[in-house]
Chains A and B, each alone.
Chain A
Amino acid sequence: MTTITLNGKSITVTSDPDTPLLWVLRDELGLKGAKYGCGIAQCGACTVHVGGQPVRSCSVQIGDLDGQSVTTIESFDGKHPVQQAWVAAQVPQCGFCQPGQIMSAAALLNENKAPSDDDIDAAMAGNICRCGTYPRIRAAIKAAAKA
């Protein structure tokens, strides 16, 4: 049993402590926004925030998160500035990587209100997009920073 604050609400989960956060979210809690893409912290499809920092949820165990605050894409209601910028720039293609991309971008913009191209590279290089939406991701982050 682990207690975390999930999207602002305190909850207790029963998954074994060695269960990756991704599978607690998807299997136990039914939150499917974070995706399984690689399972080894290489693709970023599973990105969520822990304590405001972007984390690859496939590679952190729930037992290590007791008392921590976890934020997932489900807490953004579509009105988050990053989501709005994503719609305005028509970023997604298949969309599978995009919840992870959006969570990484939101974390970046929480810390850095005017990211440079290098800042964007550093913050987003952990998120693969096989559809190749990178130019739009970059443009949308810049637009969201100005919003």
Chain B
Amino acid sequence: MNAPSLDRRAFLATAGAFTLSFTVADARAQQTGAPSAPWAAYLSVGQDGKVLLLSPTTEMGQGTHTAHAAIIADEIGVPLSWVSVETALPSDPFRRNGAMGSGGSAGVRAWYAALRQVGANARASLIAAVAGKTGAPVGEVTLVDGRFMRAGQALPVTLGEAAALAAGQPPVQGVLRDPATFKYVGKATPRVDIPAKVRGEPIFSQDFTRPGMVYACAVLAPVYGGAADGFDDSATLAVKGVQQVVAIPGGAAVVATSQWAAMKGAAALKVRWKATPIDGLTSGAISAAMLAGLDKDAEAIVGKAEGDTAAALAGAAKVFEADYEVPYLCHAPMEPWSITVEPTADGGLEIWGPFQTQDRNRSTAAKTAGIDPSKVTLHTLMLGGGYGRRLGDDGTPGAVLVALAVKKPVKFFWRREDEIGQGWYRPAQVARLRAGIDASGKVVALHVRTAGPSMRHTFSPTGLPKGEIDGSSVQTLTDTRYRTGAYRVDWVRVDQAVPMAPWRAVGATQNGYFMEAFVDELARSLRKDPVALRRELLAHDPRALKVIDAAAKAGDWGKPLAAGRARGFAYVESYGSLCAQVVEVSLKDGAVTIHKATCVLDCAQVVTPDGARNQIEGGMIQGLSSGLFEGIEIAGGQATNRNFDGYRIMRINEAPHAVTTVFIENSEIIGGVGEPPVPPATPALVNALFALTGKPIRKLPIAATLAS
């Protein structure tokens, strides 16, 4: 439970463990009629009774390892403290849609049922073994708190002994327990990774070492997509501890005996950068190109069209229209990128790092080395923040090339300036919303057009073919529950050479802001209360209304306010969860104070309530931070704000003192928790400021708009 054991084979050897294997048919095999694939080794139970769960997900602070441990502990019937969790090596049982990875707030909802079955099967196998040994009828043996019981009496077999007996026996299909008996799932279960984290144990990629390891500091082209035209390493090689400089894609890496020597050598390296087509690119030019895109009707790709929106707008008594703009956002995990690569004796690679996409990184490493992916063993360490940034594989090829050049284990790392300057960002985007209103004040048409670069095009290895829509550019718009009469969503593609990737909650972040800021402006133009207008647009949907009403209640909507304060409301559904938020603010000398923040989340079912609450608090703060302060500034084809002095992140004195969270549970399909709290936060803040000042905020970050 302390530091995760980094070497599963060592764990298995020392714990005298063996693997229970269970046959649960894999859906694809069933479809093709092929024999059931064994659903392999998720669990091993040592002779000491310790349970090791190999999790399909990466732990980056979102608490999925705790949720998975809780599911296993409850289904088997052992104390949670007996269960430890590691991220599995990439292999079939841990893949979804053909690849292993963590994203889309799927860590719990996609694995909940499967892991319950794994635990139930383990329990059934163990009980069968105990029944065989003691002669007790299988139906009378239960497993409670790690003890085998019959008729209220403990049987004289330990979990470890039972595991030894069960090994090699044919797998048994278990029956799921009644969730009412769960001790950890749905309860205030402490996170399994927290004790090591408060002790400062070396659990992160940055901390990981191998015998004989050297350090390699990346020196990357400042311009996006830039490349080196050669370098002068004389000053670098004179730095004590520096061993050599290796050319890598996009620049060079300085290899040294310590991380500091590598950084010092990197600072001394003189690289000649090749000219690029975007050497003059600026934020202003990107902004102008996107805004021009809004007018390009012929290029608009339709995401959704219900009714004749153009006709309905033309025939409306009144049309209300507004344009909005958001900048590129950096994930800025607190741990800058690092990865350890070790060439193995058989010509393969062993890799340790912070991955959200294990298979993608494994194939990239293999391709770089010119070997088969089966020769790459890829271990996932604890992530010092991910939020989507570690879905990429851009930091892996350089590391592999350095390891192959020096033929030693290498820790390859980026400095903070590259973590921000070479981020794969949340796209910059603009939107134009036009609502048609009839004579009675009812919304009868809505046209939402977004314009900007395609995130999917730069993130997906295969790109996005021309003419196809990037779903993230219209995410949460195409499936909104709002009923606005005729409805059309389209997107104009305006590509840029700036790399992008999913950023926590992805397209819901910008589109949630566009829609929700517009709804408040529309409400004002109609002289309606913003919550009342949302209720009107959702009148047909009891589930959504419940969320709206719960947030209005918990957030004191309509209650008297202290002088100089105002509240803002926003509602965005993403990743299967409905989320509404209320933010209460004041403004002094251009500085925003967030007094209160309230969040209602309908995710249907909460597996680890306190962990989920922590996700909501953090998600809201990340949303508030990005809306208030964040944006990559580009000049000369490169980010000019490359560290935390320029890329401003919310600090404790700027954050709400308390976040009130309310969960709504029901029998709907379980929704995500990690991402859905992010998108409503920015528009709730924007709407509170709009209520306070009467001036709409149509361009983010808010702080820049307030200052302009």
Taking the nearest CB of chain A, how far is it from the CB of B646, in angstroms? 9
The answer to the question of A73 belonging to the interface, with a C-beta cut-off of 8 Å to chain B, is yes
Nearest Cβ distance between residue B241 and chain A, in whole angstroms?
9
Known: A39-B416, A93-B618. A130 touches B258 (CB 8 A): no
Indicate whether A50 reaches chain B with its CB closer than 8 angstroms. Answer: no
Is B457 engaged at the interface, CB distance under 8 Å to the other chain?
no
CA distance A96 to B415 in the complex (A): 16
Q: In the complex, which residue of chain A has the Cβ closest to the Cβ of B620?
A: A132
Interface 0/1 of A58-94, CB less than 8 Å to B:
0000000000000011101110000100110011111
CB-CB nearest in chain A for B207: A32
The interface bits of chain B over 369-396 (1 if a CB of A lies within 8 angstroms of the residue's CB, else 0) are 0000000000000111111000000000
Residues B376-428 near A (CB distance < 8 A) = 382-387, 415-416
Interface of A is mostly: loop
Chain A hits for B382, CB < 8 A: 94-95
Chain A positions 31 through 49: 1 when the CB is less than 8 Å from some CB of chain B, otherwise 0: 0111111111011010000
Q: Is the interface of B mostly helix, strand, loop or mixed?
A: loop
- The residue in B191, B196, B334, B336 that gathers the most chain A C-beta atoms within 10 A of its C-beta is B334
Taken together as a complex, chains A and B put the C-alpha atoms of A49 and B387 apart, in Å, by 31
Interface size class of A (residues with CB under 8 A): 35 or more
User: Complex: how many Å from CA A18 to CA B380?
Assistant: 34
By a CB distance below 8 angstroms, the chain A residues around B196 are: 95
The size of the chain B interface, using a CB distance under 8 A, is 64
Q: Is the CB of B61 within 8 A of A95?
A: yes
Near A by CB (< 8 A), chain B positions 676-706 give: none
Counting CB contacts under 8 A, is B341 at the interface? no
Question: A93 — nearest CB in chain B belongs to which residue?
Answer: B61
A55 within 8 A of B: no
Note all chain B residues with C-beta closer than 8 A to A38: 416, 643-644
A123 nearest in chain B by CB position: B652
Taken residue by residue from 194 to 212, chain B's Cβ proximity to chain A (1 for < 8 Å, 0 otherwise) reads as 1111111111101101000
Min Cβ gap A89→B in Å is: 10
Chain A, residue nearest B658 (CB): A135
Chain A: minimal CB distance from B625 (Å): 7
Contact A45–B258 (Cβ < 8 Å) = no
Q: Is the CB of A43 within 8 A of B258?
A: no
Asked if B199 and A124 make an inter-chain contact with CB atoms under 8 angstroms apart, the answer reads no
A132 CA to B334 CA in the complex, in Å? 11
Contact B334 A128 (CB under 8 A): yes
Q: Give the Cβ gap from B191 to chain A, nearest Cβ, in Å.
A: 6
Q: A83-B199, A135-B656 are in contact. Are A90 and B334 (CB under 8 A)?
A: no
Contact (Cβ within 8 A) A37 B336: yes
A27 touches B61 (CB 8 A): no
Chain B hits for A135, CB < 8 A: 617, 621, 655-659
CA distance A28 to B382 in the complex (A): 23
A55 to B190, CA, bound (A): 31
Q: How far in angstroms is the closest Cβ of chain B from A141?
A: 10
Which partner residue on chain B sits nearest A117 by CB separation? B657
**Which residues from A are CB-within-8-Å of B643?**
38-40, 42
Q: B193 an interface residue at 8 Å Cβ cutoff?
A: yes
Task: Look across to chain B and name the residue whose beta carbon is closest to the beta carbon of A131.
Answer: B618
Q: Which of A15, A117, A121, A131 contacts B61 (CB 8 A)?
A: A131
26 cross-chain CB contacts under 8 A = A16-B240, A26-B259, A32-B207, A36-B336, A40-B645, A76-B199, A86-B194, A91-B194, A92-B191, A92-B198, A93-B615, A94-B60, A94-B333, A94-B383, A94-B385, A95-B197, A96-B204, A122-B653, A124-B652, A127-B651, A128-B334, A128-B644, A130-B332, A130-B385, A131-B334, A132-B621
List residues of A whose CB falls within 8 A of some B CB: 15-16, 19-20, 23, 26-28, 30, 32-40, 42-43, 45, 72-74, 76-78, 83, 86-87, 90-99, 102, 117, 120-122, 124-138
